[in-house]
A and B are shown apart, each in its own frame.
Chain A
Amino acid sequence: MKFSDILGMASGGMWRNKTRTILTIVAIFVAGFTITLTTAIGAGVSNYIDKQTAGFGAEDALVITVASDSTSTGPVVYNPNSVNQFGQSFNAITTEDIAKIEKIDGVTKVTPFETSSPSFIQTSGDKFILSSQQLVAGQNLDIIAGSQPKNGEAAQIVITPEYVTALGFKNDADAVGSKVTLGVLNPLKEIEEVTATVSGVMNDSLLAAGRLYVNDTLQSKVTTIVQQGLPSTVTESFFAAVATMDSTDTATVDLIKADLTKEGFSGQTIADQIGVVKQVFDAITIVLTAFGVIALIAASFGVINTLYMSVQDRTKEIGLMKASGLSSGRVFAVFSFEAALLGFWGSVVGLLGAWGVGSIVNQIASTTFLKNLPGFTLMQFPLPSVIGIVVLIMTITFLAGALPARRAAKLNPIDALRYE
């Protein structure tokens, strides 16, 4: 018997009792729908987090600060090297510290983390406050127009769509390449102005909301103004430094971190900083998918039941086919394929349903509750995972069909023909 005939026979058998088949498919549909939807949300969230991670910093970057002395109780002993940042007192990293860190195995380059930022940004109209930071090598922003600021070129800045509107540009493309004026406050509380080019427009980041990024040229101009006339104890001490690592595998990273601890510093990778967020999202996705899998298990019992009834209904037919020379193996194949076909249709309908709902939800979400998270597509349906779901459901229904198919295969043709 040809494979196509087995398939045809399985499909024909499946539609013999339409109501029963449709109900079974609905059960599988519910499971497929749930699994697809949860994985789609998982994919959407993890895609967004990946984008954010890339925008926040390079994977091989290690943010280094001086380890705080948390072992002693009571007030912390004064350290002349401490700097005040974001309303908190930190022990600053000095240029000597940077030299020390650079000697650690596995660390290739250490860049001090400049925190000086201009006070306002302006084109020709109103002035707007801003917070900016130098782009670290390897950091990839979620750029929507133009490009991210390039180190080594003339003063460049990247802005968000909100600034595009505020600064009076017609659209994102219009802003790219335009000149903006940045006001920087010197230690005498006087404003000095710096001109920069808008290199591009980026989606605002969830983890560093409102932060704009500048290139090294602009950063050094800003720093020079901010630290004008200040002593080297101030200009040569930094709130943090960013080290670039040779390798990002856990063993190397842990080794570098241990070395840093020995020297009195603490190092955090991007994964350390946002790993927790991702873990929480992953956990939620897994729990939701587990519900889908439970639905799938329930549905597979439906498949077993449906096929047992199908075998019973067709006992005589099976008897005749076996009498006419159909082997037990082929009978098994016909019924197993019938089960897999139920899985196929259930999962395909479930996928289409989830995709339809996903598209609508995405559309609504982007204008309502996710309005403030640009670049976040709530549900994504990557092809490999979609195919994976269909294959998974077909496999499970195929296995569920094995029991009834075995019963059909073992039928004795004479008993089957005598069956009333």
Chain B
Amino acid sequence: MDHPSDAAISAVNVRKTYGKKENAFHALRGVSLSVGKGESIAIVGKSGSGKSTLMHILALLDSPDEGSVLFGQSDVSTMRTAQVNKMRNTHFGFVFQQFFLNGRQSVLDNVMLPLVIGGMRPSERKKRARAALDAVGLNDKVKNRANDLSGGQKQRVVIARALVNNPNIIFADEPTGNLDTQTGEQIEQMLFDLNREQGITLIVVTHDPEFAAKFDRQINLVDGQIVSESRRAA
């Protein structure tokens, strides 16, 4: 598959193997996928199908053994680590099933983390973090410790942290996995709103068919290969 000029990120014939020889586990066996700008994509599959590995490779957290990843017009494998770090810091937002919040720190400190890493001035990053918390409706919890929040509130903090750097793409790995149905739906809605209103590309890994059905496109992975692709009925 080629890499269209309007694509946010593409994987071209990507292979990834863990372990060696007889213990080798082929997580990805030649996967090609192009994600358009502003598109929302669900990567669906059973446990061990390689869906998380594919997301990690697209998110530049892992590098493929074979094949290449293209971001904009550039091949990521030719970039230096520092450039890749910088790219993740400025263009990507992450939402994980586990919240990965620092419970002892304030909500504001948690949201600011990507900006601190990026080296932004303290006054500017506070302003941006407050704006991000505003966007997820947590402006009254700025000073609270992250541990004192409910699960749904925590995941909203995580979303605020993911969008604080105005990313092009948000990667989410089972974002509603730890939440009850009602709060899960709120989080889903919040992510789709970001996709629609701000044009942020959404790449989500899930095993929930109901959730997956709401995306522009569903990619079904079985044993490290794409077996089917379906588009949402418009």
Contacts and interface: CB of A to CB of B under 8 A. Distances in A.
A121 to B, nearest CB: 75
B62 interface: yes
Given A326-B85, A327-B85, A413 B117 contact: no
Nearest to B118: A325
Interface stretch (B7-15, B94-102, B131-139, B203-211): B94-102
Contacts of A413: 61
A324 B94 contact: yes
B149 to A, nearest CB: 17
Contacts of A9: 116
Interface in B107-135: 113-114, 116-119
Interface in B60-102: 61-62, 81-82, 85-90, 94, 96, 98, 100, 102
B189 interface: no
A326 B117 CA distance: 6
A417 B171 CA distance: 14
Contacts of A328: 81
A324 B62 contact: no
Contact of A323 (B81, B88, B104, B116): B88
Given A16-B104, A319-B100, A414-B56, A2 B119 contact: yes
Nearest to B81: A327
Contacts of B61: 323, 413-414
Contact of A316 (B85, B89, B98, B114): B98
Interface string A39-63: 0000000000000000000000000
Contact of B94 (A5, A316, A323, A330): A323
Chain B binding surface SS class? helix
A94 B182 CA distance: 114
Nearest to A325: B89
B105 interface: yes
Contacts of B62: 414
A316 B100 contact: yes
A392 to B, nearest CB: 32
B59 to A, nearest CB: 8
A319 B87 CA distance: 16
B42 to A, nearest CB: 20
B96 A324 contact: no
A325 B118 CA distance: 8
Contact of A324 (B82, B105, B113): B113
A328 to B, nearest CB: 8
Interface in A316-356: 316-317, 319-321, 323-328, 330
Interface size class of B (residues with CB under 8 A): 20 to 34
A321 B104 CA distance: 16
Contacts of A316: 98, 100
Nearest to B100: A320
A131 to B, nearest CB: 73
Interface string A285-325: 00000000000000000000000000000001101110111
A330 B113 CA distance: 14
A12 B113 CA distance: 13
B114 A324 contact: yes
Contacts of B118: 1, 325
Given A316-B100, A317-B102, A323-B61, A1 B88 contact: no
Nearest to A13: B102
B85 A325 contact: yes
Contacts of A320: 94, 96, 100, 113
Contacts of A12: 105
A388 B61 CA distance: 44
Contacts of A326: 85, 89, 117
Contacts of A330: 117
Chain B CB count within 10 A is highest, among A9, A327, A330, for A327
A327 B118 CA distance: 10
A326 B119 CA distance: 10
B98 A1 contact: no
A325 B114 contact: yes
A316 B100 CA distance: 7
A1 B85 contact: no
Interface string A1-28: 1100100010010001000000000000
Contact of A321 (B81, B96, B98, B113): B113
A327 B88 contact: no
Contacts of B85: 325-327
Nearest to B88: A325
B177 to A, nearest CB: 14
A330 B81 CA distance: 13
Nearest to A16: B104
25 contacts: A1-B117, A2-B116, A9-B116, A12-B105, A316-B98, A316-B100, A320-B96, A321-B113, A321-B117, A323-B59, A323-B61, A323-B88, A323-B94, A324-B94, A324-B117, A325-B85, A325-B89, A325-B117, A325-B118, A326-B85, A326-B89, A327-B82, A328-B81, A414-B62, A417-B100
**Nearest 10 pairs between A and B by C-beta?**
A325-B89, A320-B100, A325-B85, A325-B88, A324-B114, A326-B117, A5-B116, A1-B119, A327-B85, A413-B61
Interface of B: 56, 59, 61-62, 81-82, 85-90, 94, 96, 98, 100, 102, 104-105, 113-114, 116-119
